[in-house]
Structure 1
């Protein structure tokens, strides 16, 4: 993985390059960014640059022995740790490393649910157990085989739980020339004792135009479709790839308008039918993409209310709808609607009953838009 292969993040790349050039490589770093932002890809590209035998001014060479092994994720001094499911045959992360390498090679913007689908999970809970922690301690206590730095990249340390305390001494006082990179999405779920011992590298979500250009150039997507997918994915490359594999994205707007019409008019009969006949039968990925589309439509409505029309990326019909809707409801109602949609999205991800989820969501939106009011003087966006 090279920096040039990663979408955007020019300032982060520059910072990482300079840290190596100035010999200021922190031994423990936390790459913090939302799902699909490329934080894992950046960590791999950074590790490859650190150990490149012929560093270029703005990237690794891609041609030396070290780079070749990094590109295949088989360098003996590159180690990975990640959530997985234990079983009789699987006790540490390296037991599923072939699945991991295949998943990352296919998609370096990997999301947790996509990774989970690559494994035989059953009803188990993924985590990074104490056996894996002990294996990390063992691996990093050894000398490097051939590279200048031993590197361990831990993806989603949120799944460490209290077992992570066993790593504190290693993180604080690692062996010489050891690089420990944590790649996380939610800082609140990481042990504070770990956070305090790392250097934070904050990674933002990918911009709309960067996402659109990536889809056109690398996924051969029509510019109009790419614009819509970039809008729905909202900076998440994993979600954009999910949408590409889905077949229903073109009907999202029509379905959304019909749904909102039923909600606003409190048409219980149509809401019940739509929840049963349309929304609940889309298929899980299409249900998730529809809810993400709805969330982003409400965000665009808020942007219109804020007067930030230049940040709104919509087709003409969608823009007309957003303009009308923005005049009808208060900011508090719109933000509460987004919260309800996000909860429903979470429920779908956890395999909740779609018919019940969509019906419950619709009825809550009816109550929110038709009956919930706010005091006069409430500040509008």
Structure 2
């Protein structure tokens, strides 16, 4: 039985799912007879790199090509689809990565075509070639015969030498959008008479990570195990995924700090034969989903610890022990973090209360002034005079004698002290002009340095701090 991804492999550019930019580029290049001599197809697995390479090979050699699309019925198209066309050579660089294979290409590249118009060399997993093989390929890539096209397909373009990249046109393949994968799966299900729910196909598309080939492989696997009636539970059971309810229950118990229940959930996952890495990935995905869709950042601090657990268990045989230790550390960290936060909030609250008491005390001092004449001065300033002067004076403790008025400012109101000090002469003249009283005004800054900032420092560090001078 032919596998689904081979059975439904596209045979024309128009059948390619996604990669619109790639299809447009090659359709225009073929129409204008402007195909380059060498390409690098770079992108994730299962996104159509080899498929498009074969379609391009067919278009270049098709006997009845219409515009840019191959006819798929001529001898050349049929032979290329079957893999026995002599002028299209596919090389798997993962198993043929040495210099000898590249030398064979160099020896044959100059020969005339045997069956078609173009020779096409498709080197899959090209990044696996050795350095010597790449060096042997350099000259051929730079100046191939006019009827030769090289296509280097790779999932790791960063491993290809810059000397090779500079001689090729690099085509970037993207992950296929989720909706496009789901639409294709629905099409295949209709053809194969699979009865699949929408939720199941979305779950399959998510697990394919942007690759259509993986999606079709998963669909085929699930269909075989569920007898062609596919729902989301069938997908999760086949792929070893845990239920959404279990993930929600885990997060609920983490929030509540219920260690016993968390350990029970870990045992349930382990003894049901589920994969711990998949389980942790699902938990991370759920937290990210809560953030993206609901702006719920309640569990955002769990992301880093969970990723650390994933790293710890990757190459370990005792996964269940490490997972339990990881979750116990996570709960311990969360509790300590909450205690620290609560303590800080409590300290802030106490400090705020002290500051409020000081403010009320200062207000009381100002209100306790019993100098009738100066009250009239303040009222007149408020209504008819300098408002900034009025505000500054409202923070002073006023002592009025027979020939002198003392304005005493606490150290925390140094700014207001400076303001009134600069306007002392104006204030004396103002009182004389308005009320006919001649009195000297003395502006005093209290010697106390226990202002609010110093109180905060004292609260945080005790007496063990030192203030350096300017």
CA contact (8 A) 2:85 2:115 kept: no
Q: How does 1:1-381 map to 2 (within 5 A)?
A: 1-57=11-67, 59-85=69-95, 92=96, 128-163=97-132, 164-219=134-189, 220=194, 221-244=196-219, 245=221, 247=234, 249=236, 251-261=242-252, 263-264=254-255, 270-272=261-263, 274-275=265-266, 277-279=268-270, 282=273, 290=279, 293-294=282-283, 296-304=285-293, 323=294, 326-330=296-300, 333=301, 336=304, 340=308, 347=314, 355=320, 358=323, 362=327
Name the Cα RMSD after superposition: 3.6
Aligned length: 307
Q: Alpha-carbon deviation of 1:339?
A: 5.4
Provide the C-alpha distance between the structure 1 equivalents of 2:280 and 2:217, rounded to a whole number of angstroms.
13
Provide the C-alpha distance between the structure 2 equivalents of 1:48 and 1:341, rounded to a whole number of angstroms.
49
TM-score between both structures, scaled by the size of structure 2: 0.56
Provide the C-alpha distance between the structure 1 equivalents of 2:107 and 2:329, rounded to a whole number of angstroms.
52
**Deviates further, 76-85 or 203-212:** 76-85
Q: Alpha-carbon deviation of 1:139?
A: 4.2
CA contact (8 A) 2:47 2:212 kept: yes
CA contact (8 A) 1:2 1:60 kept: yes
Provide the C-alpha distance between the structure 1 equivalents of 2:22 and 2:174, rounded to a whole number of angstroms.
9
CA displacement 1:8-32 (0-9 Å, x = unmatched): 2233212111111112111111111
Q: Alpha-carbon deviation of 1:278?
A: 1.8
CA contact (8 A) 1:77 1:151 kept: yes
Provide the C-alpha distance between the structure 2 equivalents of 1:184 and 1:70, rounded to a whole number of angstroms.
21
SS of the aligned residue for 2:244 comes to helix
Provide the C-alpha distance between the structure 1 equivalents of 2:16 and 2:159, rounded to a whole number of angstroms.
26
CA displacement 1:184-230 (0-9 Å, x = unmatched): 22222222222222111111111111111111111443322112222
**Deviates further, 335-344 or 55-64:** 335-344
CA displacement 1:223-270 (0-9 Å, x = unmatched): 221122223333122432454325551644234334444555555555
Structure 1 residues 338 and 355, CA gap change in structure 2 (3 angstroms)? closer
Q: Which runs of 5+ in 1 are unaligned?
A: 86-91, 93-127, 305-322, 376-381
SS of the aligned residue for 2:210 comes to coil
Question: RCO higher in 1 or 2 (8 Å CA, sep ≥ 6)?
Answer: 1
